A and B are shown apart, each in its own frame.
Chain A
Amino acid sequence: MTTRTTWIWQFMLVPLAGIFLFPLLWMFSTALKPVDQAMRMPPTWIPKAYYAPLDGVRTRVVPRGTNAVAGVIVATTGHTRLFVPATDFHDGRVRIVRTLRGAVVTNLVAARLLKDVPPGWVQVLEDVDQTSMAAQRRWDYVAPSALDTRTELAWRNFLSAMRVIPFARYTLNTLILCLLCVIGTTVSNSLIAYGFARVEWPGRDFYFALTLATMMVPFPVTMIALYGVFKSLHWVGTWYPLWVPVFFGGAFNIFLLRQFYLTIPQDLTDAARIDGCSEWQIFWRVIVPLSKPALAVVALFQFMGTWNDFMGPLLYLNDQKKFTLALGLQFFQSQSGGTEWHLLMAASTLMLLPILVLFFFTQKQFIQGIATTGMKG
């Protein structure tokens, strides 16, 4: 390929790659911001932290804009701190204007001057963790130079997200389910595919065609009747409906493994048969060890599927203690009504992370699995 075309290629690919990366980067960025910055317009990419002295102690604060005219901070006799325009404070008295039942009432209240606030100073509010709802947030006005701005990633969002949602519990639940399903799918489908690929028996090809045809049956068609079955078994509210069916195989994985078994040379099994191996021994000693890569693909996709599954848990789980991560996260989102976006993005990131890690360790199997299943259907 010539240099010129390479440049054109890069010219097209770079912006496209940017568009594809953007949503995930935005998720990470939001997950690492304090709540006030997550919900601020115009949006910023890099999370910032602000520090200012409050009562003489360096504290993390939220800046709230600057004052236009000169003002004063005063303390009334009731020890309430107030910020008023400088013109409203004379001779130890502060003018407080209030609206009482539609009428404007002006009071003069005795007050003590605490601090002069020149124009252009910044109002700062103590930054409290969203989850610890302090009743009174301390505040002050500081000179712009006293406000210390620095890049700081709010890693604590991840801790908060894990506290708001019973994250450890949901993760454990999901991992247990994933493990059961991975065992189920590899054990059952490797056996079934052997029956379809390496043993020749009357009716086999018809049965295999029928098996492939079942891939056409969409889940919503069987969903209702299956619910009835599990209901009569008293399995609703347990994990059984989510993993027991996996132990009986699935058309897709049978197909995938059969294709792989067919590529194993017949001579190998014939030799084993001559040596007096039973069919089971051939399966267990010859075929299974040779088909580890294909089994890994099946296991990988099953893990992803179970980790992802939302509808199954939604149908069958009603006790929050048994929720999976997917269901738990959605439950939290619907409860919080879509307000705590920084925590939602942190939790979503945590849900994506294991999948990303898994992908980077198993890229080859992944891509091969998708390519072969997509090509020869």
Chain B
Amino acid sequence: MTGAVTAFDAIGTRWRITTGRVLTADERAAVDDLVEEYDRTFSRFRADSAVARLAATGGPVDLGRSAPALLGLLQRLAALTRGAMTPLIGGSLEHLGYDAGYRLAAAPGYRAAPPIESLHVDGSTATLTAPAVLDVGAAGKGQLVDLVLALLQGAGHTTCTVDAGGDLRIAGGPVRVALEHPFDPDAAIGVVTVADAAVAGSAPNRRRWTSPDGRRLHHVLDGRTGEPVDTVAATWAVAGTAMLADALATALFLVPPEELEPEFDFTWLRMATDGRAHWSPRLPAEVFA
């Protein structure tokens, strides 16, 4: 869409908000406050966050108004994927060096995540019954996109696009969204056309690091083993909300799409590391294959 573009860096990614008219100073401040509040609650990368307090104390910790929907979805996906995708993956990531200090210095071996039953959620309050680090990265960025979009719609922006580093939600449209080639950032493997919906992708290839013992690592892990998933190069999901699209893009690394299709309303594309792609017949896309 054409319009006024507001760009900024937050929660470790590049944001790009496109609206029909320029954001007012008050609207811009409200967006900043919303992002800051979310980051202060859920960031695993800052010592003063609620999530860091939960990891340190075991809780109970109040994770705020966004927590019930977010944690509910992540718990549901943990059950559906039999623990492969889990919000308790934070300790496994820290083991590999993907920690608050971005040390990227992996300890030997892998650490499986504790069972999802170690996380108790009562409303917005979380409690851990075993040592664990909550990581909502699989769906949190998407939920924040939804929250920012809702804020802007409430301020009268009936058509807008909120794009957080390639996970985006569109009010209005249609907008053509290129699916970036996971092996080449200057190329696309297809284009989806989306109206009043969200697109999220996951491709860990450009966030790789190497352990002291030579293992090539990235941050999409199987919770049952704590090991990076190396059969899938990239995934995309198109869904009604960015939270759901974001979460399903990660889930597609861990289970076949057919296991998710009966449970959620979404379309998908999954590209394997050998260059082959599979996509849902209903995907609103032109795929260059």
Question: Are A and B interaction partners?
Answer: no
Q: Which A residues are within 8 Å of any B CB, using their own CB?
A: none
